[in-house]
Chains A and B, each alone.
Chain A
Amino acid sequence: MNKRWLKLAAVPITLSFVAAACGSDDEGSTDTTPAESTDTGGDAKTEITVTGPERDESEAGSIQEVLGAWGDENGVEVTYIGDADWEANINTQVQGGNPPDISIFPQPGKLAEFARDGDLVALNDDAAAATAANWSEAWTVFGNVDGTQYGVPVKADLKSLVWYQPAAFEAAGYTVPTTFDEFTTLVDTIAADGGAKPLCVGIESGQATGWTFTDWVEDMVLRQHGADVYDQWVAHEIPFNDPMIVESMQTVLDLWSEDNVFASSGTIAATAFQDNGQPLVDGDCFMHRQASFYSAFIPEGTAFADGSEGAVDVFYFPDINGDAPVLGAGTLAAAFNDDANVHALLAYLSTPEYAEARQAAQQELKGGGATLSGFLSAAQGQDPAVYQPLEQSFLEILDTAAIVRFDASDLMPADVGAGTFWTEGTAAVNGDKTAQEAADAIEASWPA
């Protein structure tokens, strides 16, 4: 039997399977054309994909659980994909014409760029109304691009916090610092005493390596030079290599000296930001400055602020000028797909019900009881009872602080805020560049 024809047939068949495997799953229904806020009705997807950078088990698990429950009620299959390289992959997906239906942006700057390029879909009237009703303007403004609402705030973070173990402080005879001078003195004292290091720092985070450094610098700019300079810095009204900014970068680098820092992977640049919770609990270091969501990375079974041995608590990262500025951040969901169900899901994401459900789910995944979930939302009308006392105090700080500023790197253009600020900052932390050299390089990369 001559089987040559089989070989011939095998080529197109194989090709077709390869193509089918490589192709996108959504049958060409991805409509990336931007549309004004109108009800399109009609076409409604039954499968919605949501992506975001949150990928910790409790974070991704709770998002999936809550969105899945919403989907079950509405006859939609919702899949959440937590992506370690979200910053790079979302660009590729959008460029390739294969974006997710919804993505959760930690950077309003990036959201605005996508919106201006026409990749994002503005909220329809219902979703926009829900967002306006559920969140104060201080938050919704970050999802508003040139007067059109694109983003729905879904999470709030309080960044100016220092995690510590009260029992360890007590045992060593240290007290919680209330001014920045006291803080630096305390760091020097702990370093001089030997044993455990004063600080745990790690800035490794995959594609986003370096963001922890940007948070520290932002907190320092806010403390050393005030909110006005901070705003000018974000808007690029002063250059990135302004002496004031370089000074703040230098302050951070000085604090991160070898004697002061416990880096569980040898160096700060090599240590994953998630890997600082364990050494804090183990007593390898005394303090760790990190946002409210960091409770998600404190090892399971650790008690929070209940006075017990080994419990972990926070104190406010002290200020310099007595104006108590607070650095905040948050994530915003926005749609790449103009679809009735996608808009409906966005509307749901803005509600206090979503916040409460997510908080409950994430807390459950973290072990329940009195543990902190790491989640925080500033949606109006939430039942405060879903939060632990410590979390309620975070919300109160966010609510009442006179100076609250959004994370600067997240507001800057993505080239800088999710690009050179991270990479050049990492080079400075690693000692490959000085603060001045790094700042010069970042300034040079600011898009004209």
Chain B
Amino acid sequence: MTTLEELDDTLQAGSPVPVEPLGDDAGQSTAKVWLGRIAFGAIAVLVLLLLATQSKARATAGLAGGAVVVTGGLWIGANLVFNQAAKNWQLFNALRYGIGGFIIAGIIAGNGAINGASEGTGVIGRLTGFIWFPLIIAAVTAATGWALGRIDAPTTRLAIGAGGMGAAGLIIGAMMDSSARPDNDAVALIGWTALVAGIGAGISFLRKQPPTGGALLGAAIGWILGAFGAPDIGDGAAGWAIVACTIPAAAFGLRFAMKPIGGVVEHAQVDRRARPVIFLAPALLFVTVTLVIPAIRTFLISLKDRKSEEFVGIDNYTDTFSDTNSWDMSGWNDMFFNWPMRIGLLLLIMFAVIGTRMKQRTGRLVELGSPSMGPLIAGLLFVAFGVFTTLRGTIINNLWWVVVVTIFSTALGLAVAVLADDVKFERVAKSMIFMPMAISLVGASVIWRFMYVARDSSKEQTGVLNAMWVGLGRLSTGQSVAATVFVFAIGLTGLSVLLRAIAGRKYVMALVAIIATPLLVLGVDAAWEALSGDLQRFLIGAILTLTFLALLAYAAKAIARGDFGPAIVPTIAVILLGWFLVRYWGIVGGGVGGQKTNSNGEIVGDPINFIQSSPYNNVFLMIVLIWIQTGFAMVILSAAIKAVPEDVIEAASVDGATSSQIFWRVTLPQIAPTIGVVVTTIIVLVMKVFDIVKVMTNGNFGTQVLANDMYFQAFTSQNFGRGAALAMLIFFSVMPIMVFNIRQMQKEN
């Protein structure tokens, strides 16, 4: 009460303390808090409802919750134990000896090797059934640890270590169930003990430590192996069981006692060294269970036969490589004569010519952004196409995917990132290109399948690409040239006039546009249909020729002026349109695009079977992934480009570098590590490509890739050995790239 009054007083006194008025802001934040509470309550109710109604959810929640509690408890416990290392060494020593003894004795008793320790029924029964035995052993070992943590005299330590641990071993041996008592196999016992002791001594020697410790440890392990691993287990002599257990335990005890007690520094070191292990343990455990063990298992399956029954060595791998479906070299002699190879070689010759000229001038054959770089890269790409289209098979296809998708995704992503940098519509352009990343691979495949659809040549094409291709064919052969183009042109003009008139409030004009446009459309359409076919063809040709001439004049003028940049697009258009017109007027052959003459002499559509015609159907599948991955490359590279320091670029431009020089010699070297990460990430993704092939061809028509073949072998043919071998093949080929990638990323950090 007083506080409120005081506050009131201060306020009235005009205190300089700023107090926020209870305005809109405060109301809003209260509302927000309440909204949050309601949402939380709703979710909680939903969760409880699910847990109450779904027995499976309840069971799994219990299991997962229990696992989290147990793991968390163990983790906290481990931390607490190691907290004692620096504080109270004696307690710590007792704890670790006790816990160690408890765990080992628990394993022994839990496996039914102890007389009188049995699994009872129910949770309590189970615990009381055999928990007493580990507790006894833990008490003995903890006492040993307690003593070893206190006494400093070396001989006394040795006696306590051997005696204490030996006593624990004696108890285990004495209480051993008759079914677990081993026979005495002296030869194996001596052999194993000597062998492992030798190994232990050797390891100690290599680590430049006195070999006694290693030999003792090895002898203990060897003894256990020889006493329990080699002979038959069960109904051995009771006395021998005691000896077999006591001696190795005593040896362990001796070894532990050999280590001096150490001072504060050593104890703090134990604490410090243990922490990273404790902190990593949950993650390591998770990785082991979900990744390492499955990987090892897959490797083992790959060495077994189709039903994982017998070991067959590396047969599955040799079968994979000898199968012509995965590795077909039969076409190799065509490799040097197909057209991509010829173009590639031509480009490489071009590179050689330009490169030598460059070398005379600058002393280098090729440089980033030099004129010789283009022909070199394009040439190598074409040569790769020449190789990949003639050598066929699953493995070749995978390599082809890696080369094409990686190069094109990265190059296109880089191009967009550079070109869209700091332009007006940057955000829109980038969002558009990034959009496909949001589409699942399966969804993208379905979309592109519609793009690629072909219909029988006598039908209208429903696929976008084939409709354009066949439409081009019809246009270029002057068949059934529709007035659609004109109708569209008039319609669009009318619409734009209408919109402009409305925007300018010229309603009379708008009315005229509304009335005149449809009339014009209908009139032109009717007039067009009335013309004879030849006249239609001539008119279309005339319009296109005039366009061609206009473009030619523009391009020529630009080139004459020396403006090569603006001349690029018109020049390409002139070349394409020129070729089209040559075919259109029948100067060389007839027609461009999807059309052919059938056996009856009629011209019919000739769609491209994008998905079925091998080997280039592979490329059309790759386009889907390029379409998706370009956005990824663009985003990462765009961020890298923006991170290039402005002053470096400014300095370069002050020094008189052109914008292309700045890009090739300043920006690109700066973002090279990022490009490395993008490339390796895409390679790893492409090596595993599955969805696109599965959806679009299911591996038919020579488009099989490793991942889909793995699925086919394992789950359709039920040949698990072969499937696992393919999985390992993918794993091995991805591995080095992953390692490189991770190192690169660490270097960057």
A262 and B701 form a contact (CB under 8 A) = no
A19-B458 CB under 8 A given contacts A194-B600, A267-B609: no
Query: How long is the Cα–Cα vector from A92 to B719 in the complex, in angstroms?
Result: 12
Residues of B with C-beta under 8 A to A19: 60, 64
Which residue, of B57, B60, B599, B700, has the highest number of chain A Cβ atoms within 10 A?
A: B700
Query: How long is the Cα–Cα vector from A19 to B56 in the complex, in angstroms?
Result: 9
**Is B455 an interface residue when CB atoms closer than 8 A count as contact?**
yes
Query: How long is the Cα–Cα vector from A20 to B700 in the complex, in angstroms?
Result: 36
A87 and B702 form a contact (CB under 8 A) = no
Query: How long is the Cα–Cα vector from A265 to B463 in the complex, in angstroms?
Result: 10
A432 and B699 form a contact (CB under 8 A) = no
**Is A143 an interface residue when CB atoms closer than 8 A count as contact?**
no
B56 and A284 form a contact (CB under 8 A) = no
A266 and B612 form a contact (CB under 8 A) = yes
A95 and B715 form a contact (CB under 8 A) = yes
**Looking across the interface, which residue of chain B has its beta carbon closest to that of A113?**
B718
Query: How long is the Cα–Cα vector from A284 to B612 in the complex, in angstroms?
Result: 22
Q: Tell me the A1-35 residues at the B interface (CB within 8 Å).
A: 8, 11-13, 15-17, 19-20, 23, 27
Residues of A with C-beta under 8 A to B747: none
Stretch at the interface among A245-253, A387-395, A414-422: A414-422
A27 and B56 form a contact (CB under 8 A) = yes
Residues of B with C-beta under 8 A to A279: 456
B64 and A427 form a contact (CB under 8 A) = no
**Is A207 an interface residue when CB atoms closer than 8 A count as contact?**
yes
**Looking across the interface, which residue of chain B has its beta carbon closest to that of A262?**
B456
A91 and B718 form a contact (CB under 8 A) = yes
**Is A447 an interface residue when CB atoms closer than 8 A count as contact?**
yes
B458 and A284 form a contact (CB under 8 A) = yes
**Is A270 an interface residue when CB atoms closer than 8 A count as contact?**
yes
Q: Which of A191, A209, A284, A432 contacts B614 (CB 8 A)?
A: A432
B64 and A430 form a contact (CB under 8 A) = no
Q: Tell me the B207-238 residues at the A interface (CB within 8 Å).
A: none
**Is A206 an interface residue when CB atoms closer than 8 A count as contact?**
yes
A414-B718 CB under 8 A given contacts A23-B56, A209-B698, A441-B324: yes
Q: Mark B584-612, 1 if CB is under 8 A from A, else 0.
A: 00000000000000011010000101011
Q: Which of A20, A91, A426 contacts B701 (CB 8 A)?
A: A426
**Is A126 an interface residue when CB atoms closer than 8 A count as contact?**
no
**Is B47 an interface residue when CB atoms closer than 8 A count as contact?**
yes
A270 and B612 form a contact (CB under 8 A) = yes
B717 and A419 form a contact (CB under 8 A) = yes
**Is B67 an interface residue when CB atoms closer than 8 A count as contact?**
yes
Residues of B with C-beta under 8 A to A20: 54, 56-57, 60
Shortest C-beta distance, B442 to chain A (Å), equals: 13
Residues of B with C-beta under 8 A to A259: 599
**Is B251 an interface residue when CB atoms closer than 8 A count as contact?**
no
Q: Mark B48-87, 1 if CB is under 8 A from A, else 0.
A: 0010001111001101110110000000000000000000
Q: Mark A170-191, 1 if CB is under 8 A from B, else 0.
A: 0000000000000000000001
**Is A88 an interface residue when CB atoms closer than 8 A count as contact?**
yes
**Is B431 an interface residue when CB atoms closer than 8 A count as contact?**
no
A419-B716 CB under 8 A given contacts A16-B64, A270-B612: yes
Residues of B with C-beta under 8 A to A398: none
Shortest C-beta distance, A299 to chain B (Å), equals: 16
Residues of B with C-beta under 8 A to A191: 599
Interface residues on A, range: 35 or more
Q: Which of B61, B609, B612, B716 contacts A207 (CB 8 A)?
A: B716
Q: Tell me the B699-749 residues at the A interface (CB within 8 Å).
A: 699-702, 711-712, 715-719
A432 and B701 form a contact (CB under 8 A) = yes
Q: Which of B47, B64, B699 contacts A15 (CB 8 A)?
A: B64
A265 and B455 form a contact (CB under 8 A) = yes
Query: How long is the Cα–Cα vector from A88 to B699 in the complex, in angstroms?
Result: 14
B454 and A12 form a contact (CB under 8 A) = no
Query: How long is the Cα–Cα vector from A322 to B424 in the complex, in angstroms?
Result: 79
Query: How long is the Cα–Cα vector from A445 to B466 in the complex, in angstroms?
Result: 37
Q: Which of B324, B455, B715 contacts A91 (CB 8 A)?
A: B715
**Is A269 an interface residue when CB atoms closer than 8 A count as contact?**
yes
B454 and A16 form a contact (CB under 8 A) = no
**Is B179 an interface residue when CB atoms closer than 8 A count as contact?**
no
Shortest C-beta distance, A231 to chain B (Å), equals: 25
**Total CB contacts across the A-B interface at under 8 A:** 116
Shortest C-beta distance, A99 to chain B (Å), equals: 14
**Is A263 an interface residue when CB atoms closer than 8 A count as contact?**
yes
Shortest C-beta distance, B466 to chain A (Å), equals: 8
A12-B61 CB under 8 A given contacts A266-B609, A267-B454, A441-B324: yes
Which residue, of A13, A113, A210, has the highest number of chain B Cβ atoms within 10 A?
A: A13
Residues of A with C-beta under 8 A to B711: 88
Query: How long is the Cα–Cα vector from A17 to B61 in the complex, in angstroms?
Result: 8
A206 and B60 form a contact (CB under 8 A) = no
**Is B325 an interface residue when CB atoms closer than 8 A count as contact?**
yes
Shortest C-beta distance, B46 to chain A (Å), equals: 10
**Is A377 an interface residue when CB atoms closer than 8 A count as contact?**
no
**Looking across the interface, which residue of chain A has its beta carbon closest to that of B702?**
A432
Residues of B with C-beta under 8 A to A363: none
**Is A423 an interface residue when CB atoms closer than 8 A count as contact?**
yes
Shortest C-beta distance, B389 to chain A (Å), equals: 13
Shortest C-beta distance, A19 to chain B (Å), equals: 4
**Is B505 an interface residue when CB atoms closer than 8 A count as contact?**
no
Residues of B with C-beta under 8 A to A414: 717-718
Residues of B with C-beta under 8 A to A430: 612, 614, 700-701
Query: How long is the Cα–Cα vector from A246 to B136 in the complex, in angstroms?
Result: 78
**Is B474 an interface residue when CB atoms closer than 8 A count as contact?**
no
Query: How long is the Cα–Cα vector from A210 to B699 in the complex, in angstroms?
Result: 13
Q: Tell me the B427-477 residues at the A interface (CB within 8 Å).
A: 453-459, 466
**Is A264 an interface residue when CB atoms closer than 8 A count as contact?**
yes
Query: How long is the Cα–Cα vector from A113 to B63 in the complex, in angstroms?
Result: 37
Residues of A with C-beta under 8 A to B454: 265-267, 270
**Is B537 an interface residue when CB atoms closer than 8 A count as contact?**
no
**Looking across the interface, which residue of chain A has its beta carbon closest to that of B306?**
A447
Residues of B with C-beta under 8 A to A270: 454, 609, 611-612
Can you list 21 A-B pairs with a CB-CB distance of less than 8 A? A13-B64, A15-B64, A16-B64, A17-B50, A17-B57, A17-B60, A19-B64, A20-B57, A27-B55, A88-B716, A194-B600, A264-B456, A265-B453, A265-B456, A266-B454, A269-B612, A269-B700, A419-B716, A419-B717, A423-B699, A441-B325
B residues neighboring A (CB under 8 Å):
47, 50, 54-57, 60-61, 63-65, 67-68, 306, 323-325, 453-459, 466, 599-600, 602, 607, 609, 611-612, 614, 698-702, 711-712, 715-719
Known: A16-B65, A427-B700, A430-B612. 16 other contacts (CB 8 A): A12-B67, A15-B64, A23-B56, A27-B56, A194-B599, A210-B700, A263-B456, A264-B456, A266-B456, A266-B607, A269-B700, A269-B701, A270-B609, A415-B717, A419-B712, A432-B701
